[in-house]
Amino acid sequence: MIIHMVEGSSEIEADRVVERIKSDYGLFCESIVGTGSIVIGVKGIAGVIDEGRISELPGVDRVIRITEKFKDASRSFHPEDTIIDLGDLKIGGKNLTIVGGPCAIESEKQAIDSARLARDAGVDVIRTFVDKSRTSPYDYRGLEIEKGLEIAAAMRKETGLPIVSELIDLRHLEAFLKAGVDIIQVGARSAQYSPLLEELSLLNVPVILKHGMGNDLNEWLCSAAYIMSGLDRLGRPSHRGNPNVILCYRGIRAFESATRFSADISMIPLVRMKSHLPLLADPSHSSGDKKLVERVAYGFVAAGAGGLEFDIHSNPEEALCDGSQAVTDEAERIVSTSREIHALLHNYGMETGKSTELTSSISS
Ligand code: PEP
Ligand code: MN
């Protein structure tokens, strides 16, 4: 449910509505103060709310029920782009955020060399993947966790940049946070594993969420809502949830097998239309081929992605994981040209999801 306050109503009136909903129904609210108007989003299951009583409160203009199953992630619930602050870095909205680094940490030398290459190319966040979920158990699955995290921390120190690492096993969460992992990634293979998503909802740490290789848009955004909603298993509001979700599009399994996965460029503007969350796209894991990565990256940015995540490796020929889709010296040009394309969109006022026409997809 969202509550539009009348234009010019005060924040005090909005606070009274928020208090009323909390005291009468035990639900949390999120207020979005725009220019001249305030919109209140009710978190949790708002079916219990008596719409009539809320409509009569001073300053309330209209009450709208949201039927989308991914409410917290939906733009109808939260019309403004979400911008996540990570130190000096701002992710979402008009910003272009580039994440790069090796697919996996293999050794200290390989990791530091690759991190330097990524930093010098101009990325904003370094990939420091310690634990790898691989299709086959016989493939390289990463170093021993403690050793891997030690190297991840060294990559952070060496570059001075924030780091992202994929969390597969909840038992490693504490060690990840202790090692200074700035962003936790949920990979395609765990994208619908609700115990992991629920645990991440208790934190404030930003989460990059991939979609499962067979997931559609609704399922993906529902996974985001698991991290954001703060509802317990019985549907009770138990905490505020984690609002710091960053989506990352990586393509799905489809009929075509010539590319690793099938990435649908039209998903980029569509997701930005449907969701206020920052949206990255991954040209490495979608195309699976370093010869394709650069052009696919530009396609994603031109379509309106708010950033990229791709594999950068100092010596891909020797890589133990995904060397065929990692770039080296091309990384710098990919970063700088992506920023130029993004700046071009900025000139047309098209760099944010807000610029995408909202259509009848908003339900009430
Ligand atoms: C990755 O980013 O390293 C990865 C394995 O990607 P995905 O989860 O999209 O397959
Ligand atoms: Mn990979």
pLDDT tens series, the chain, 364 aa: 999 999 989 999 999 999 999 999 988 898 988 878 899 999 888 888 999 999 999 999 999 998 899 999 999 999 899 999 999 999 999 999 999 999 999 999 999 999 999 999 999 999 999 999 888 999 999 999 999 999 999 999 999 999 999 999 999 999 999 999 999 999 999 999 999 999 999 999 999 999 999 999 999 999 999 999 988 888 888 888 999 999 999 999 999 999 999 999 999 999 999 999 999 999 999 999 999 999 999 999 999 999 999 999 999 999 999 999 999 999 999 999 999 999 999 998 888 888 765 433 433 3
Domain boundaries, position 61: 2-65
C-alpha dist (Å) from residue 296 to 120, 257, 278, 302: 21, 17, 19, 10
Is residue 156 situated within a structural domain? yes
Supply φ then ψ for residue 324, to 5 degrees.
-70, -15
Is residue 360 situated within a structural domain? no
Residue nearest to atom 3 of ligand 1 (CA): 103
Helix (H) and strand (E) counts in the chain: 11, 14
Q: Is the CB of 187 under 6 A from ligand 1?
A: yes
Q: Which residue has the tokens 């690492």?
A: 165
Number of domains the chain contains: 2
Give the domain CATH number at 119: 3.20.20.70
To test the pocket of ligand 1, the residue of 282, 296, 311, 312 to mutate (highest count of ligand atoms within 8 Å of its CB) is 282
Which ligand 1 atom sits nearest the alpha carbon of residue 250? Answer: 9
Q: Calculate how far, in angstroms, residue 271's C-alpha sits from the geometric centre of ligand 1.
A: 19
| 3-class DSSP assignment, residue 127 | strand
Is residue 364 situated within a structural domain? no
Which ligand 1 atom sits nearest the alpha carbon of residue 309? Answer: 2
Give the domain CATH number at 58: 3.30.70.1140
Q: Please check whether residues 61 and 94 belong to one and the same domain.
A: no
- Please give the radius of gyration of the chain, using alpha carbons only, rounded to the nearest integer: 21
Q: Is the CB of 210 under 6 A from ligand 1?
A: yes
101: Cα separation from own chain's centroid = 17
Is residue 79 situated within a structural domain? no
**How much is the pTM?**
0.93
Considering only CA atoms, which of 154, 155, 130 is closest in space to residue 140?
A: 130
Q: Please check whether residues 126 and 8 belong to one and the same domain.
A: no
Q: What is the pLDDT of residue 357?
A: 54
Q: Is the CB of 260 under 6 A from ligand 1?
A: no
Q: Is the CB of 188 under 6 A from ligand 1?
A: yes
Q: Are 237 and 44 in contact (CB under 8 A)?
A: yes
Q: What is the pLDDT of residue 363?
A: 36
Measured CA to CA, the distance from residue 29 to residue 21 in angstroms comes to 8
294: Cα separation from own chain's centroid = 21
Which ligand 1 atom sits nearest the alpha carbon of residue 189? Answer: 8
Q: Is the CB of 251 under 6 A from ligand 1?
A: no
Q: Calculate how far, in angstroms, residue 252's C-alpha sits from the geometric centre of ligand 2.
A: 15
Q: Please check whether residues 179 and 270 belong to one and the same domain.
A: yes
